[in-house]
Chains A and B, each alone.
Chain A
Amino acid sequence: MAFESLVITAYSTISALGHGRRAALDALLAGRGGLRPCDYPGADLETWIGRVDGIEGVALPDELTAFDCRNNRLALLGLECDGFAAAVAAARARHGAARIGVFLGTSTSGIEATEQAYRQRGADSGQLPTNFDYRHTHNTFSVADFTRRYLGLEGPALVISTACSSSAKVFATASRYIRAGWCDAAVVGGVDSLCLTTLYGFNSLELVSRQPCRPWDVARDGINIGEAAGFALLEREGEGVRLLGYGESSDAYHMSTPHPEGEGALQAMQAALRCAGLEPARIDYINLHGTATPSNDRAEDCAVTRLFAGGSACSSTKGWTGHTLGAAGITEAIFCALAIEEGFIPASLNTEQIDPQLSAPIVRTTVRQPVRVVMTNSFGFGGSNCALILGRCV
């Protein structure tokens, strides 16, 4: 069964750029980034973060309160942005609840709930609070279980958790399930929310920048952590930007450092081009993984340069949103869909002096121009790589 392209018939995004597509688009076109000095409660770190406003005030529906945690609140906000839940309800009427799958990515799920429970351990007993619901909040499946119940879907459902490639890989899995006939449509996406685990964890690896992150800059010195949710509805027919291909690979090199020549990244991009049946020259724009750590950008630059030889415009959008980890794949796929629909290439925000050792042609100011076919890269810890190709029919 050869790959068949799928249509993104609805999508939503929420990130530090704001709630919904309009907010993201306005910010990207106006050059207005979403990072702020770290004000996440309890994080005494000198860094910048991509925080979403309004999560704290969200209330889950009564029947789903067991799922209450920052990650599922963010998921709910994302589902209600851009009319996404309503679009899924219409799709449910077309396909049937059992014929729509739910495939979501997250890296840390609702770990913030466990962090809080550990802070509330009994001084004498050491016990966690009795009302702490680990299964419905922290368990890795939580956000997909919550989402399928919220949307009233009964098809196959799972969470893919491969660190920062999670919500790119969901497109590959959903595509296979539709091809295999396990479902007729799929809700894909990703949700990751701020927590002390990632802030202090990346800090322990000395990968956190004290300033707004600067992808491809000569002085880049690390990431900013962000939070985001994004969802897309994939169907065989309809109007919209299409998923033209995907490619997945493993580095098989190191748990937290990419292969120095970007070998795994290269394989994922090549696989995506093969899947789409496209030559590299057909890619108008590459949304880089571009985390702004010295080694990540160097490895990705090497891979992109080997494959594209400088022929496709590139940028990283991490400077706008921060690195949203398990939500990075979907967030950046949606930015690519916006770029195609609205005709622009987003700048690599905060990139001032491009590292002379790097070769990819970085776009430093958002430019209006027709964009037909884009690639977006997502690479994660454990050497997990995924590249997606989106576009109009080609």
Chain B
Amino acid sequence: MMRVYVESVGLTAPGMVGWAAAQSVLRGEAALDAANVPVFRPTLLPPNERRRTTALIKLALQTAEDALAHSRYAMHELASVFASSEGDGEIVDRICTTLTLPDRPVSPTHFHNSVHNAAAGYWAIAAGSCKPSTSLAAGVYSFTAGLLEAATMAVLECVPVVLLAYDYPLPPVLAGRGYVETEFAVALVLTAEEGDGMTPLDLAVLSGTGASPSLPTKLAALRTHNPAAAALPLLQVLARGATARLTLPYQEHLALQIGIGA
């Protein structure tokens, strides 16, 4: 078992724009208004840099900002783990379209944004963080894989880590081909050192199949349409300030057990 602490949370999703506003929805006190779509305006990047980024990168950065607004850590102190199942469909679409044209005029900006760690690269520049940063993917299990990676890094490398799990819908031509049909991003600042107001997570990897925890209908729909929204059962418990034990599936034959707040 490994213990890690949640120091701060960020969230960007339809009807849950920012962690402060999302908590009443997650506690079941307010209805989820899916028509309330987030507008991405991360302030971490200067406007000229921001213009060079994509909706996916803005989604990730804005969610990081949300978590860090309430964090005791300075951005440059944080290592990072970026988990995205799909990567940047907008960039894939633009590059693959360009590659069908005469002379194949791929844009240099699109190309450097095409790397899976593009959001992490912009984050490191904006944060001034030279700490380790890992960008990963594990299909529909990308949140679980990201949480385990971030917690393990925080504990074994003795560094606070910001985890970003984020995915953005594919563009129309690729719609239905991937895992993502709605935007969702969650940020968790994780640390091995206990502090005031932090929630402990006790993690264990178990073999055997585990079903996903049940969710209210609208939250379940988000989870169906975005791998990052596998975080929702954990976020519900954090919003309630409750104690619970959850099991999140991680591949067909493995699960991550999370003891929360105990």
Q: Main SS of the interface on chain B? A: mixed
Chain B window 86-97, contacts with chain A (Cβ cutoff 8 Å), 1 for yes, 0 for no: 110000100111
Q: How far is the CB of A10 from chain B (nearest CB, A)?
A: 23
- Interface: B213 (CB within 8 A): no
- Checking A144, A173, A252 against B127 with a beta-carbon cut-off of 8 angstroms, the contacting residue is A252
Whether A264 lies near B130 (C-beta < 8 A) is yes
Whether B129 lies near A252 (C-beta < 8 A) is yes
- Interface: A65 (CB within 8 A): no
- Interface: A22 (CB within 8 A): no
Report Cα–Cα, A157/B251, bound state, in Å: 8
* Interface size of A as a range: 35 or more
Chain A window 314-345, contacts with chain B (Cβ cutoff 8 Å), 1 for yes, 0 for no: 00000000000000000000000000000000
Chain B window 170-192, contacts with chain A (Cβ cutoff 8 Å), 1 for yes, 0 for no: 00011001110000000000000
Known: A161-B116, A173-B149. A155 touches B254 (CB 8 A): yes
- The total of chain B residues at the interface (CB under 8 A) is 66
- The interface residues of chain B lying within 8 Å CB-to-CB of A381 are 112, 115, 117-118, 121
**Interface of chain B residues 108 through 128 with chain A (CB within 8 A):** 108, 110-118, 120-122, 124-125, 127-128
**Interface of chain A residues 146 through 199 with chain B (CB within 8 A):** 148, 154-163, 169, 172-173, 176-177, 179-180, 182-183, 196-197
Q: How many A-B residue pairs have CB under 8 A?
A: 207
- Interface: A58 (CB within 8 A): no
- The interface residues of chain A lying within 8 Å CB-to-CB of B177 are 128, 132, 134-135
- Interface: A301 (CB within 8 A): no
- Interface: A138 (CB within 8 A): yes
**Interface of chain A residues 87 through 102 with chain B (CB within 8 A):** 97-98
- The interface residues of chain B lying within 8 Å CB-to-CB of A382 are 115, 117-118, 120-122, 124, 133, 135
Whether B115 lies near A161 (C-beta < 8 A) is yes
Whether A263 lies near B130 (C-beta < 8 A) is yes
Report Cα–Cα, A138/B100, bound state, in Å: 18
Whether A159 lies near B137 (C-beta < 8 A) is yes
Whether B137 lies near A158 (C-beta < 8 A) is yes
Report Cα–Cα, A50/B149, bound state, in Å: 33
B residues contacting A by CB (< 8 A) are 2, 76, 84-87, 92, 95-100, 104-108, 110-118, 120-122, 124-125, 127-139, 142, 145, 148-149, 152-153, 155-157, 173-174, 177-179, 205, 207, 250-254
| Cβ contacts A to B, 30 pairs, < 8 Å | A97-B253, A118-B100, A127-B173, A128-B177, A135-B139, A138-B92, A141-B142, A145-B139, A148-B251, A157-B145, A159-B136, A159-B137, A159-B138, A160-B135, A163-B115, A163-B117, A172-B132, A173-B134, A176-B153, A180-B2, A196-B99, A196-B104, A250-B120, A250-B133, A252-B128, A255-B125, A256-B108, A380-B117, A381-B115, A382-B115
